[in-house]
Amino acid sequence: MFIDLSEVTQRLRRMSSEELDVSGSYQSFLLDLIREGKDTLVVDQVSVWLFDDISDPKKLINVANTQWDNDLNAEDYPVLLCDEYPNYFEAISTGVSINATDALNDPRTAEFRDTYLIYNKITTMLDATIFKNGIPHGVVCCEGRGPLREWQSAEIAYAEMVADCCSRRLLVNELWTLQQQLTKLAFHDALTGLKNRRYLMDSAHREIRRHIRAGEQLSVVMLDIDHFKRINDSYGHEIGDVILQEFALCCKQALRVEDSLCRLGGEEFIVLLPNTPVEGAQEVAERLRINVEKNIIETAHHYIQVTVSCGVAQVNLAKPFSFSLKQVDHAVYDAKAQGRNRVVVSK
């Protein structure tokens, strides 16, 4: 079989440079590459296998396969254990492609003879290593049925290019995943799991623009746990953290999906209420206050009841959100001055 490396290289380069949605399964962003490999090499099946741990691999996980009709869930991916196929894993670890003309008798692949090759009528294999930072990360496995096949140098080079393209897409997926994690860290409070002040400010600016266009009202509620310093002093900061987590959960359960509950810091929380007039926000705040008061928090050695002081304000859409934050903060101050465990609407 003759392969024009110049032509197929151009196709692979174009495919590997395409913008992809890597937020889905491995199958979705590797499939076009391995289908291209299957057609070009004229083999019966191409699959991608990745090590579970690049530094101390115990198994290979089959993450993409041209034979699959549908995407598999990660927990359903087939696996190969290193201990059961030591010769094959040793061959992969060298980084040298496995060009097994006679897969049933080649010492690198013969371990699969009775468990896989004969049953699936696989006679010949060409496996190219996927690298990550110069270390074997997995393998692209090309399998053929029928007559034995003497793999040509151009075919081996092409299979290695497919493996390199897979490596680049896997790197893009890894970077995307890292970006999502960093974004979550940047906009989430680690203790309560709620959105943080940074998210609140960004979200508020977007909501203000949206509400101006729609002609709707936007309101905000600030909640401040009463005597929280006393709780920390009496029970310790670990119990204080439990109180904050339980408080956040209690409030979240009482809100709509579209409402944004954020932790400002310390014992202060904010709820942004889209399409809500100040009267509706007052009702929400009162419901939150009652729910918090009724929620007895159980710890290892204590049953603790907390209360909350709430301030309510309608967001002034004509001014920066910081203006409305000051208004609702003053309302919380008034609620505390009036005896705590109450709701005060900004004047």
Residue 14: phi and psi, rounded to 5, are -65, -45
Closest-CA residue to 162 (of 35, 4, 24, 20): 35
Closest-CA residue to 309 (of 331, 327, 294): 331
Distance CA 288, CA 281 (A): 10
Instruction: Look at the chain and count its residues.
Output: 347
Residue 267: active-site member:
yes
Catalytic residue, chosen from 267, 268, 286, 298, is 267
Closest-CA residue to 160 (of 142, 179, 172): 142
Name, in order, each residue with C-beta under 8 angstroms of 47's C-beta and a sequence gap of 6 or more.
Answer: 34, 62, 64, 65, 66, 67, 140, 141, 143
- 8 A C-beta contact, residue 314 and residue 277: yes
Side chain identity at residue 251, one-letter code: C
Query: What stretches of the chain show up as alpha helix (H) in DSSP?
Result: 5-17, 26-41, 86-93, 118-120, 153-187, 197-214, 228-235, 237-253, 278-294, 321-337
Tokens 């949206």 belong to: 210
Active site residues: 267
